[in-house]
Amino acid sequence: MGKMSFVKGIVAYDSVHGSTKQVAEAIAEQIRSDGHEVELMSVKEGKPAEVAGDFMFIGSPTRGGKMTKETKSFIEGLNATEWKDRPIVAFDTIGPFSKDVEKRNKMLKTVEKSPRTASAGIQELCRGQGLSVSPNVMHIAVVGMWGPLAPDASEMAKDFARKFLAELK
């Protein structure tokens, strides 16, 4: 089988206070600068059955240890036949975390394997629907109860997207 060329990425997100939207925009910007087409969509507005692309990032704020209801509905509405062989990557925003970089990074490390994050829920739900979900997830820190994002958040998001895209090639 030849190498598959990935041309269009979807970045679907839910955002309550704007932080997850900012992360989604950073991911979309990276996908675009890597030479791919990208569609940025809010799960509140997107019709999941009509979503078409070669790979997708799905993001949600972590609220009470879970993804939002809108994110869950979006995933449940995806066309499983269409998406079963296309990679899906989960990301979330989580906090409030320390403004101190070292403390914040330590806190992010502790949530990495936690089942109580939006990303873990997204992965589990995607797997349960027979979708191809990436084992790698991205947690982005929010430093206040309702934002703002940590100062290094956009760079972290772009770096994560860059690594994912490099693995696709």
Please say whether the beta carbons of 67 and 92 come within 8 A: yes
pLDDT for 105-164, tens place per residue? 999 999 987 889 999 999 999 999 999 999 999 999 999 888 899 999 999 999 999 999
pLDDT at position 47 is 83
Is 9 inside any structural domain?
Answer: no
Is 4 inside any structural domain?
Answer: no
Is 10 inside any structural domain?
Answer: no
pTM metric for this prediction: 0.94
Q: Which domain holds residue 91?
A: 16-168
Q: Which residue has the higher pLDDT, 27 or 144?
A: 27
pLDDT at position 15 is 96
pLDDT at position 46 is 73
Q: Which residue has the higher pLDDT, 87 or 6?
A: 87
Lowest mean pLDDT segment, chosen from 22-31, 40-49, 87-96: 40-49
Is 94 inside any structural domain?
Answer: yes
pLDDT bracket for residue 2 (50, 70, 90): very low
Is 3 inside any structural domain?
Answer: no
Is 11 inside any structural domain?
Answer: no
Query: What's the chain's length in residues?
Result: 169
Beta partners for 89?
A: 57
pLDDT bracket for residue 5 (50, 70, 90): low
Assign residue 47 the CATH number of its domain: 3.40.50.360
Is 82 inside any structural domain?
Answer: yes
pLDDT at position 125 is 97
Q: Is 103 exposed, middle or buried (0-12, 13-18, 19+ CB in 10 A)?
A: exposed
pLDDT for 46-97, tens place per residue? 788 889 999 999 999 999 999 999 999 999 999 999 999 999 999 999 999 9
Is 1 inside any structural domain?
Answer: no
Question: What total of structural domains would you count in the chain?
Answer: 1
Of 25, 28, 3, 23, the residue nearest 119 (C-alpha): 23
Calpha distance 26→139 (Å, rounded): 14
